[in-house]
Structure 1
């Protein structure tokens, strides 16, 4: 089904807002860290799909009602961007709220997921970015789309500057827990009133290899790409993953094995422009589960002199596994050296691999039921592209989500996506592609 037909299937879009249940106060601010500001041009787009059984007894009011308490817990998310006298952005916690969209879809959830259209998820989540009127731009959008079968999708648009993808996942799962009436939720994530900043930033900060500086962004926070970017998703089953790892003599994890495979495939389709250097993003394990609004990535670069297209996968996997030189400090110093904050691209500055295996992306439950499918993607990716490695479907393995293989979301230049599909199908006979 073509994207244009897909657009015709989603209709009757309505808009509203949800604000915190309690008044936060007139002078409360959430200070953004240097790493927050380094991620400001990136946006998470996530879509959770639920069948009709999970929606019995639910309507739009029952879905929105828990959000008032939800935003009490995360009042910073309901704020808006302001600038200090020096030009540095911060969040004013003014209870302006989260924007809600409601829409209808003419097909069933199953029919939608079977569509041969990689862009279909984008119709179920807002594509809004921050700016050009920053003071009025919501940081978070949620879209509910009701399908003909009675099922629903929940689309999350999340500004990366308020937290990484682990944080966004915890945020969404918290909404589900409140909706279920969990009595144990007592945490309130207070706005960050101060951040650690060097008293004297480096006069000539080292430019990290993992970032690209962009110019003339202004107050519309989305980088311009040379060509159109496109997104596709692959389900690597448990059996396929075991087969892939068996081909690699180096004892490596699933993320490293998958990254090595995709690095080589991208190198082959780019031929003489194969990427010799890639960025690897991992979450700081010490921050998992906290739910505090934070960007806590460990960002490193990996380089090779080998011909990547013909290299042994074991060699590439070993390089990725060893890429633990964290450039976060250098990135933060680069932001700190500019009072107005540097405009940087991290995802896609180089070909970027993001390890999201620890994300509880199936943790959002309705009526005790997990989503049947989850899509995670990123907007604001640079021309070199990004590969996200996520847990597979909950029912994808004999023991649940931990053994359900992996979902891989790839964001590349539009003309490279079909070539990547052919490369994967031809080399590995990768089944389960959708």
Structure 2
């Protein structure tokens, strides 16, 4: 059977069920062919978690929450499918209505107690599942509803990256909440144009890509092993802190004022701190991952990612933050074309790590992360982590809850444990970014 989550590590009671499309496909089972980016990301998993107050879920039962999934899966047929291999060995998804798994759990603490104990951490609230070792039985999506003692609820997903990127995962669960609110499911889904992103020729790398790492997996268990234990921590940078950071970096920059996005400034700052932790010697090369968040309404899930490399000419630990941010914005090199060639040459059978092959920064600050609503209420807190991260680590930059100006950022960092502890100390001691707890 496919892997199931380990519920014995937390004080919960649980049950698991399966949700299938409302309309059986019968003999019309189709095949969803995976493109090069789907296959490149197949060892990674996206895990968003949303927290809702008791007011938001008042009157809602587990059956109410599962109900919208049936008609939604009619349109997202590949989400309830299973992995198969063609005669050549290339994976694809058989749309056989095998369904998605749903877990229902209970925590014997309140939301407030959870936040007091875990801060922005979501460990245990997203299902701990990966694909395999029996791929034919492994669900591509696992959903977990956790009820808290106060009546609050967390909604966690484990979304196989082979289905689509984080924006696709967010849009899928947002569409679920819209159906729950009484809106009809989409009549059809728009299939995006997955052609090569358009960039100036000089910014494209056509040589062998350097931002991914070829790896080996055990049999058909789609999860790469790490040399180090990777831990995760989340920082909430408020809109006020972002403005102070922008002011401070401009004041230390003797050149003309430099314009850069918050994502690029945060990336430069975290990179500088990590380089200093390693005596300023590295890393010299980082991966920048972006995706188009302005997608068509009711768009079919896809891995619409742009993966770029940036290599610093000097040690990042000694660089000015704003100058480094400007270089990240202007001097990175897109590697999509080279990666497509590499995957196709291997007929999609080889296994790669993307997140954490180099230190990786993922830009999700413009994603509609908070579009999920229950009874008209937005989540009081939401976060997202990735599973399958390599030893060099990954940094996710997400929109934060509305805080005054409503322009803060959630920064979720996965690094080897010792390195992560040093990063927390450096961000707090030198930049005043305190590891706070969410409030509601």
Normalization by structure 2: what TM-score?
0.89
- Residues 232-268 of structure 1 show CA distances to partners (whole Å, capped at 9, x for unaligned) of 0000000100111122342111111111100001111
Shift of 1:324: 4.6
- The corresponding residue for 1:83 is 85
Q: Is the 8 A contact 1:75 1:191 kept in 2?
A: no
- Per the alignment, in what secondary structure is the counterpart of residue 67 of structure 2? helix
Shift of 1:210: 1.3
Shift of 1:433: 3.3
Q: Is the 8 A contact 1:20 1:78 kept in 2?
A: yes
1:61–1:115 CA distance, 2 compared to 1 (3 A): same
Q: Is the 8 A contact 1:228 1:413 kept in 2?
A: yes
Question: 37, 57, 60: which one pairs with 2:59?
Answer: 57
Q: Is the 8 A contact 1:255 1:355 kept in 2?
A: yes
1:218–1:287 CA distance, 2 compared to 1 (3 A): farther
CA distance in 2, matches of 1:333, 1:101: 39
- Residues 375-426 of structure 1 show CA distances to partners (whole Å, capped at 9, x for unaligned) of 1000111110000000011x3224xxxx230000001011111111001011
CA distance in 1, matches of 2:217, 2:155: 34
CA distance in 2, matches of 1:319, 1:386: 19
| Residue pairs, 1:298-337, within 5 angstroms | 298-337=306-345
Shift of 1:332: 1.2
Q: Is the 8 A contact 1:278 1:351 kept in 2?
A: yes
- The corresponding residue for 2:399 is 391
Q: Is the 8 A contact 2:363 2:396 kept in 1?
A: yes
1:94–1:195 CA distance, 2 compared to 1 (3 A): farther
1:377 maps onto 2:385 in alignment: yes
Shift of 1:224: 0.5
Structure 1, unmatched stretches of 5+, are 1-5, 198-204
- The corresponding residue for 2:291 is 283
- The corresponding residue for 2:76 is 74
| Residue pairs, 1:94-173, within 5 angstroms | 94-116=96-118, 120-173=121-174
- The corresponding residue for 1:35 is 37
1:288–1:243 CA distance, 2 compared to 1 (3 A): farther
Q: Is the 8 A contact 1:80 1:94 kept in 2?
A: yes
- Residues 299-339 of structure 1 show CA distances to partners (whole Å, capped at 9, x for unaligned) of 10001121211211122101211145321111111110012
CA distance in 1, matches of 2:431, 2:194: 47
101-110 vs 214-223, greater mean Cα deviation = 214-223
Q: Is the 8 A contact 1:31 1:195 kept in 2?
A: no
Shift of 1:274: 1.6
1:340–1:280 CA distance, 2 compared to 1 (3 A): closer
1:267–1:126 CA distance, 2 compared to 1 (3 A): same
19-28 vs 103-112, greater mean Cα deviation = 19-28
Q: Is the 8 A contact 1:287 1:296 kept in 2?
A: no
Shift of 1:115: 1.2
Question: 416, 422, 431: which one pairs with 1:428?
Answer: 431
CA distance in 2, matches of 1:297, 1:115: 35
- The corresponding residue for 1:347 is 355
Normalization by structure 1: what TM-score?
0.91
CA distance in 2, matches of 1:288, 1:406: 24
Shift of 1:346: 0.8
Shift of 1:218: 3.2
CA distance in 2, matches of 1:135, 1:209: 32
CA distance in 2, matches of 1:7, 1:375: 23
- Per the alignment, in what secondary structure is the counterpart of residue 427 of structure 2? helix
**Aligned residues, how many?**
414
- Residues 52-109 of structure 1 show CA distances to partners (whole Å, capped at 9, x for unaligned) of 0011110101111111011112111000000000000000011000001111001111
CA distance in 1, matches of 2:336, 2:217: 24
- The corresponding residue for 2:301 is 293
- Per the alignment, in what secondary structure is the counterpart of residue 124 of structure 2? helix
Question: 408, 417, 422: which one pairs with 1:419?
Answer: 422
Shift of 1:360: 1.0
1:24–1:273 CA distance, 2 compared to 1 (3 A): farther
CA distance in 1, matches of 2:325, 2:195: 35
1:328–1:289 CA distance, 2 compared to 1 (3 A): farther
Shift of 1:215: 2.5
